[in-house]
């Protein structure tokens, strides 16, 4: 495998003696829009021996600034400048050799959506539903096998393709909205034409094409619009760090340094050391820093050299293209810190410039709050070093799972939740962090909690009421299970009812166990309630150390107080009203937000192995 790149480079070099230039077989981006804040647009053309050609355009408001080429003669980069008043339309771009026309192609500037659909972004008013599309719902069995795609369906294989698609997600929008979620984050939908294990989406083989086994580009665009009509924003999963080794680039690399590890001329590369502290470690060696960002994840995921200016611009324009084309509400950036920091600054800065209200959440998989805090920026700070408004709150993820399952002591159990939250002093904006109990890379929440329904209810209540932006993994509301160690194919099992003939149906409730129905109803009640609660979205958070057993915290503003109290013990815990007087004052009544039952606080007992979410009146 490590000698694949040598073959690729040999093929590229062989193109130097190719036949005369022809019309390019690829033009990316395939079209663009006038009115962007950045007037420059760079087109990447691929075609036989076109690298030395020039370009000419005769269209009002479009200027050819110049062309660029690489060591591979089969690529030409055309730099265009669009005037502020350029009109939408289609125009020819001529390719010239020493002033003689060799070929031409039509290029289109499309009218922009007004106002751009992606302006709102997502924030703490939202709750995100995370979906692995191949495993959620098969709405169109006709695309399970697609022409030219190497891997077909095998629903019996945990690592195979199962047939879920965009049509299935679209059919489930009513269910998602009814559960109280306001955003959906599908794992990547771009083409992954790999021989095996292609369902997860993190090995892109074409940056401008939705995988046909999920649907078409237009179906994706229509799905985003349909979601918006139900009050649901779509968060696109973007992979900047790497591609799949089946990417069309790999048969004819745009340049010898397009990939990390390709510059030796031998096609050799190294696997990343995963030392994610190296970007911030003041004592880190250059070798360790370089290996972290330049090393490959695995043999089948070539690592992109984002220091290459043409590749960097390609990735930036590709992200903008999807935002504008599909109207998405946000981005989740995969393996964020593995990318080149200088590139990330340009990428994040350009997105923020074009879409000031847009939001991106980055993945930095670490228990260390200081490292996550490093990647988050303040509300009005520039995107220096690629810092983002939102990051995945992995430290709180671990605190939640461990705090609920450990035995109570001065250093374990619920104190984990308390101390984990105390780390908020390190974050510029803790309310912009995305909190979660599980995702596509972790074991299932219910399994990690020992399949304990009481602990599951505590975790759900915590996610629904804690500061930040909650993210919920599909099927967790149905108590889906997995091994407690990482087992991706099983963690991402099929959602019951997503396929014709399923014995149980999570969408309708048919065939579910009593425990599943109760768990689903509990999630639905809490997140539908959360959707209407500004005190949860924006209110202050005050918590009290669990020194006497229960863990109690409050969300409060000038008008409302919500109390969350969880008791892991086997006995009722008395509610000592006087301890919480600074928040509740003279109020003495609490109403359960799920059951509607009222309680007198001066007589309140927190039931054993229970969580209470009370509106204080």
> Which residues carry out catalysis?
334, 363
Q: How distant, in Å, are the alpha carbons of 17, 133, 170, 504, 506 from that of 499?
A: 52, 13, 14, 10, 11
Q: Give the distance from CA 402 to its chain's centroid.
A: 24
Distance of alpha carbon 311 from alpha carbon 258, whole angstroms: 7
Cis peptide before 29 (omega within 30 of 0): yes
- Helix (H) / strand (E) element for 288: namely helix 286-294
Torsion of CA 565, 571, 574, 579, to 10 degrees: -50
HSE on the CB side for 498, CA within 13 Å? 26
Q: Are 249 and 204 in contact (CB under 8 A)?
A: no
CB 187 within 8 A of CB 135: no
Residue 67: C-alpha distances to residues 45, 72, 581 (Å)? 11, 14, 70
* Beta-carbon contacts of residue 521 (< 8 Å; ≥ 6 apart): none
Whether a cis peptide bond, with omega within 30° of 0, leads into 265 is no
Place of tokens 């194919």: 489
Cα–Cα distance, 535 to 379 (Å, whole number):
20
Rounded to whole angstroms, the Cα distance separating 353 from 517 reads 45
Q: Is the dihedral of CA 444, 446, 447, 450 positive or negative?
A: positive
Q: Kindly state the greatest CA–CA separation across the chain.
A: 91
DSSP state, residue 384: G
CA distances from 364 to 394, 435, 596 (A): 8, 13, 39
> CA 371 to CA 168: how far, in whole Å?
37
Supply the angle between the helices 453-465 and 394-405 in degrees, to the nearest 10. 150
Q: What's the CA gap between 13 and 28, in Å, rounded?
A: 22
State the DSSP code for 180: T
Q: Quote the CA–CA distance of 98 and 246 in Å, as a whole number.
A: 36
**Could you tell me the end-to-end alpha-carbon distance of the chain, in angstroms, rounded to an integer?**
66
């Amino acid at each position: 495998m490590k000698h694949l790149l040598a073959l690729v480079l040999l093929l590229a070099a062989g193109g130097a003696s190719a036949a005369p230039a022809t019309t390019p077989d690829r033009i990316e981006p395939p079209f663009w829009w006038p009115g962007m804040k950045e007037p420059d647009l760079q087109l990447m053309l691929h075609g036989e021996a076109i690298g030395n050609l020039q370009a000419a355009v005769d269209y009002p408001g479009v200027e050819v600034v110049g062309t660029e080429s690489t060591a591979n003669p089969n690529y030409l980069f055309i730099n265009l400048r669009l005037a502020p008043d350029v009109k939408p339309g289609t125009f020819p771009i001529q390719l010239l050799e020493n002033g003689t026309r060799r070929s031409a192609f039509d290029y289109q500037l499309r009218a922009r959506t007004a106002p751009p659909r992606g302006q709102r972004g997502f924030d703490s008013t939202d709750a995100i539903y995370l979906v692995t599309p191949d495993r959620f719902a098969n709405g169109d069995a006709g695309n399970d096998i697609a022409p030219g795609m190497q891997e077909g369906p095998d629903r019996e294989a945990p690592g195979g393709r199962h047939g879920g698609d965009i049509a299935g997600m679209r059919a489930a929008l009513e269910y998602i909205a009814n559960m109280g979620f306001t955003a959906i984050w599908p794992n990547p939908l771009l083409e992954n034409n790999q021989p095996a294990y292609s369902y997860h989406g993190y090995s892109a083989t074409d940056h401008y094409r939705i995988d046909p086994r999920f649907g078409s580009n237009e179906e994706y665009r229509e799905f985003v619009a349909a979601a918006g009509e139900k009050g649901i924003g779509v968060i696109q999963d973007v992979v900047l760090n790497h591609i799949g080794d089946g990417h069309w680039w790999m048969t004819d690399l745009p340049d010898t340094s397009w990939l990390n590890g390709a510059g030796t001329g031998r096609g050799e590369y190294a696997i990343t050391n995963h030392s994610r502290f190296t970007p911030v470690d003041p004592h880190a060696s250059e070798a360790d820093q370089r290996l972290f960002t330049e090393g490959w994840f695995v043999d089948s995921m070539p690592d992109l050299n984002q220091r290459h200016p043409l590749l960097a611009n390609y990735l930036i324009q590709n992200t903008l293209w999807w935002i504008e084309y599909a109207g998405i509400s946000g981005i989740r950036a995969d393996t964020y810190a593995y990318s080149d920091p200088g590139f990330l600054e340009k990428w994040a800065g350009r997105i923020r410039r074009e879409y000031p209200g847009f939001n991106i959440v980055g993945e930095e998989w670490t228990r260390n709050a200081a490292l996550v805090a490093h990647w988050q920026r303040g509300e009005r700070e520039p995107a220096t070093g690629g810092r983002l408004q939102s990051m995945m709150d992995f430290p709180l993820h671990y605190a939640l799972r461990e705090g609920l399952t450990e035995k109570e002591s001065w250093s374990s159990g619920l104190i984990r939740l308390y101390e984990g939250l105390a780390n908020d002093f390190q974050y510029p904006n803790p309310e912009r962090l995305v909190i979660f109990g599980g995702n596509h890379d972790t074991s299932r929440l219910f399994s990690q909690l020992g399949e304990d329904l009481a602990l599951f209810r505590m975790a759900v209540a915590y996610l629904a009421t804690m500061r930040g932006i909650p993210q919920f993994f599909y099927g967790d509301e149905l108590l889906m299970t997995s091994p407690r160690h990482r087992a991706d194919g099983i963690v991402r099992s099929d959602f019951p009812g997503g396929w014709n003939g399923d014995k149980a149906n999570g969408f309708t409730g048919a065939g579910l166990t009593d425990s599943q129905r109760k768990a689903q109803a509990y999630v639905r009640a809490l997140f539908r309630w959360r959707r209407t609660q500004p005190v949860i979205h924006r209110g202050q958070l005050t918590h009290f150390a669990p020194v006497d057993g229960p863990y109690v915290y409050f969300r409060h503003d000038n008008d409302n107080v919500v109390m969350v109290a969880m008791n892991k013990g086997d006995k009722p815990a008395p509610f000592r009203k006087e301890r919480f007087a600074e928040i509740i004052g003279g109020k003495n009544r609490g109403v359960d937000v799920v059951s509607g039952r009222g309680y007198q606080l001066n007589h309140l007992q927190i039931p054993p192995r229970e969580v209470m979410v009370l509106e204080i009146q």
